[in-house]
Amino acid sequence: MSPTSQAAASRRGHTAATFDSLDPATGEVVGTHPVHTEEEVRAAVDLARTEAAWWAGLSFTGRKRHLTAWKAAMVQRLPELIEMVHRETGKPLGDATLEAGLAIEHIGWAAGHARRVLARRKVSPGLLMAHQSASVAYKPLGVIGVIGPWNYPVFTPLGSIAYALAAGNAVVFKPSEYTPGVGVWLAERFEEAVGRPVLQVVTGLGATGAALCHAGADKIAFTGSTATGKKVMAACAETLTPVVIEAGGKDAVIVDADADIPVAADAALWGACSNAGQTCIGVERVYVHEQVYDEFVDALTTKAARLHAGADGKIGPITMPSQLHVIRRHVQDALDKGGRAVVGGLDAVGERYVQPTILVDVPENSLAVQEETFGPTMTVAKVRDMDEAIELTNATAYGLGSTVFSKRHGMTVAERIRSGMSAVNGVISFAGIPSLPFGGVGDSGFGRIHGPDGLKEFTYAKAIARQRFRPMLTLTTFDRTEKTDRLFTRVIGLLHGPRTRR
């Protein structure tokens, strides 16, 4: 058990069960952590409530100073974080570095922009209420419960945690049972930098996450599978606790006839296979204009044939062993339905690693086209035109991210895709731009992290109307006369009647 897990466990008097996090490349134990119980989770939320009062009482500048110190503490010991991410997820060190760096960038943005987005500001009261001064501010909700996945154990939960903290909330974070060490490390650096447990971590399996939904938090920010997201929402409905659901995806790349084919092929391959394909916004499907289909498939397969998953490769192991069955089932189903593997195939799915797999001629009703595979695989299909590409892209229940390659039509095509985010002539680029909101529609969930929307997600809007002078027409009194009513009707007619041009 890590020192912080032990400290947290003893602070909560924890004596019972523990669980191990394992290195998916070797099966070795990376760390042992307490399985926090319902009472312990509740105690963490209670403590967070006290911390939230202190934290919310600071100014935006005060919180920014603390968040900047946290960020600096992380940067100072970055190699440790990268090693922990590498060991718990299996991803190559370079990918772990990229993830951590982007996450730290988000902390900086959230801390630096909270005042501009959330502080009280005046809004126009309108002509009817010109005697009022109207303003709105965004207040912290209190305690935010964050439930995280394992695939990006730094970037993904920090998308909620950093924005919730910058907005003035305290956070109780339940990391995935596959990456508890990363969660504990983040909270350790916070307590070191700030000196108070405004960010706490509770560890455990799904039951600990379920306990967090019932522990009295003011909002739950969940990132994980759609199936678990539904359970979280159902649990939170009992107490009318609001939720953000960042769930799975089935993202497509569209390649138009005028696209730069080598660039599109390189991006599609990286989008599908980096992090062993275990990316919510990873590329799972590609739709290519018939005029450039052969050229694209050639470029893609040539590149993919040089890519290798393994301890020495650029693709790490599959983090969650049970996912290997899902990947195998999707490839098998695609082949059974008449698809062909032009790279990889069923044999590519090994004991721990999956080699890149490119499937063509796969019917659209196949599992590999409709359900999240979460492996280094992709389907590539030929389309007549962009209308067909958009129609097929939109024909899944998910709607997280998407990508378009086209020199002239990128924006037009992107606008017509039903997804929370699109990248044009690049891949996954939106996730690295802190000012852009991140989130999906449909089975990919709802609510937004990142950007101004991500800050507001962890607040409630507080409106104030302050009377500046007595109005010509006092409307909110029982002393209102018929004359006032007639005048009011005339004003409404002038403002909104058929001849008004407003």
| Of 90, 209, 344, 399, the one binding ligand NAD by CB under 6 A | 209
Nearer to ligand NAD, 55 or 222 (CB): 222
Q: How many residues bind ligand NAD (CB under 6 A)?
A: 31
Q: Binding to ligand NAD by residue 150, rule CB under 6 A?
A: yes
DSSP 36: -
| Of 8, 118, 147, 354, the one binding ligand NAD by CB under 6 A | 147
What is the closest distance, in whole angstroms, from the C-beta atom of residue 231 to ligand NAD in the complex? 4
How many helices (H) and strands (E) in the chain? 17, 18
Beta-bridge partner residues of 341: 359
Nearest residue to ligand NAD by CB is 209
Catalytic position from the list 191, 280, 284, 457: 280
Tokens of 350: 């090994």
The distance from CA 322 to its chain's CA centroid, rounded to whole angstroms, is 22
Tokens of 241: 């606790």
Nearer to ligand NAD, 138 or 152 (CB): 152
Q: How many CB atoms lie within 10 A of CB 384?
A: 10
Q: Beta strands 445-446 and 243-246: pairing type?
A: antiparallel
Measured between alpha carbons, how far is 138 from 134 in angstroms, rounded to an integer?
A: 14
Phi and psi at residue 497, to the nearest 5°: -70, 175
Phi and psi at residue 308, to the nearest 5°: -140, 135
Q: Binding to ligand NAD by residue 452, rule CB under 6 A?
A: no
SS3 446: strand
| Of 21, 223, 373, 419, the one binding ligand NAD by CB under 6 A | 223
- In the stretch 156-195, what mask flags binding to ligand NAD with x, by CB under 6 A? x-----------------x-xx------------------
What is the closest distance, in whole angstroms, from the C-beta atom of residue 431 to ligand NAD in the complex? 9
Q: Binding to ligand NAD by residue 148, rule CB under 6 A?
A: yes
One-letter amino acid for residue 489 of the chain: T
Q: Binding to ligand NAD by residue 249, rule CB under 6 A?
A: yes
The span of 47-55, 202-210, 326-334, 474-482 binding ligand NAD (CB under 6 A) equals 202-210
Specify whether 236 is catalytic: no
Catalytic position from the list 246, 284, 371, 457: 246
Report the site for ligand NAD in 364-383 (rule: CB under 6 A).
Answer: 372
Measured between alpha carbons, how far is 156 from 148 in angstroms, rounded to an integer?
A: 7
Could you tell me which of 376, 281, 329, 431 has the C-alpha nearest to residue 91?
376
The span of 24-32, 147-155, 163-171, 476-484 binding ligand NAD (CB under 6 A) equals 147-155
* Tokens 């378009």 found at: 404
Specify whether 280 is catalytic: yes
Tokens of 247: 């769930």
Report the site for ligand NAD in 428-447 (rule: CB under 6 A).
Answer: 440, 444
Q: Beta strands 219-223 and 283-289: pairing type?
A: unpaired
Q: Are 285 and 251 in contact (CB under 8 A)?
A: yes
What is the closest distance, in whole angstroms, from the C-beta atom of residue 156 to ligand NAD in the complex? 4
What is the closest distance, in whole angstroms, from the C-beta atom of residue 397 to ligand NAD in the complex? 13
Question: DSSP strand E in 175-265: where?
Answer: 199-201, 219-223, 243-246, 251-255
Nearer to ligand NAD, 224 or 339 (CB): 224
What is the closest distance, in whole angstroms, from the C-beta atom of residue 487 to ligand NAD in the complex? 53
The span of 161-169, 206-214, 324-332, 488-496 binding ligand NAD (CB under 6 A) equals 206-214
Q: Binding to ligand NAD by residue 454, rule CB under 6 A?
A: no
CA 347 → CA 112, 212, 271, distances in Å?
49, 41, 22
Burial group, residue 365, by CB count within 10 angstroms (0-12, 13-18, 19+) = exposed
What is the closest distance, in whole angstroms, from the C-beta atom of residue 376 to ligand NAD in the complex? 15
Beta-bridge partner residues of 303: none
- Site for ligand NAD, rule CB under 6 A: 147-152, 156, 174, 176-177, 205-206, 209-210, 213, 223-225, 228, 231-232, 246-249, 280, 320, 372, 400, 440, 444
Active site residues: 246, 280
